Amino acid sequence: MRNLKEKVSIVMPAFNEGSRIEHSIAETAATFDDFGCPWELIIIDDGSTDDTFQKASGLISRYPEQLIVKKNPFNLGKGRAIKKALHYVSGAYVVFLDADLDLHPNQVQTLFDIMRLDNADIVIGSKLHPNSVVEYPLQRRIFSFGYYLLVRLLFNLPCHDTQTGLKLFKVEVLRKVFPRILVKKYAFDLEVLVNAHHLGYRIIEAPIVLNFQRKYTRVGFGAASDIAIDTLAIFYRMHILKYYDRIDYYRRKNLAKEIRRVRR
pLDDT digits (tens, 9 = 90+) for 123-180: 999 999 999 999 878 888 888 889 999 999 999 999 999 999 999 999 999 999 999 9
Q: Is residue 3 part of a domain?
A: no
CATH of the domain at 27: 3.90.550.10
Q: Is residue 22 part of a domain?
A: yes
pLDDT of residue 260: 53
Burial 73-112 (b: 16+ CB within 10 A, else e): eebbbbbbbbbbbeeebebebbbbbbbbbbbbbebbebbb
Mean pLDDT of 224-250: 89
Q: Is residue 166 part of a domain?
A: yes
pLDDT of residue 121: 98
d(CA 264, CA 58): 53
Q: Is residue 211 part of a domain?
A: yes
Q: Is residue 205 part of a domain?
A: yes
Instruction: Find the domain containing 66 and state its range.
Output: 8-263
Q: Quick check: 177 and 248 in contact, CB under 8 A?
A: no
pLDDT at residue 13 above 90? yes
Confidence of residue 262 (pLDDT cuts 50, 70, 90): very low
Mean pLDDT of 170-193: 94
Average pLDDT of the chain, as a whole number: 91
Q: Is residue 85 part of a domain?
A: yes
Confidence of residue 186 (pLDDT cuts 50, 70, 90): confident
pLDDT of residue 215: 54
Question: For the chain, how many structural domains are there in total?
Answer: 1
Mean pLDDT of 48-76: 97
Query: Which of 159-168, 213-222, 234-243 shows the lowest per-residue confidence on average (mean pLDDT)?
Result: 213-222
* DSSP character string of 198-255: HTT--EEEEE-EEE---SS-S--HHHHHHHHHHHHHHHIIIIIS-HHHHHHHHHHHHH
Mean pLDDT of 222-248: 90
Q: Is residue 138 part of a domain?
A: yes
pLDDT at residue 256 above 70? no
Q: Is residue 1 part of a domain?
A: no
pLDDT at residue 255 above 70? no
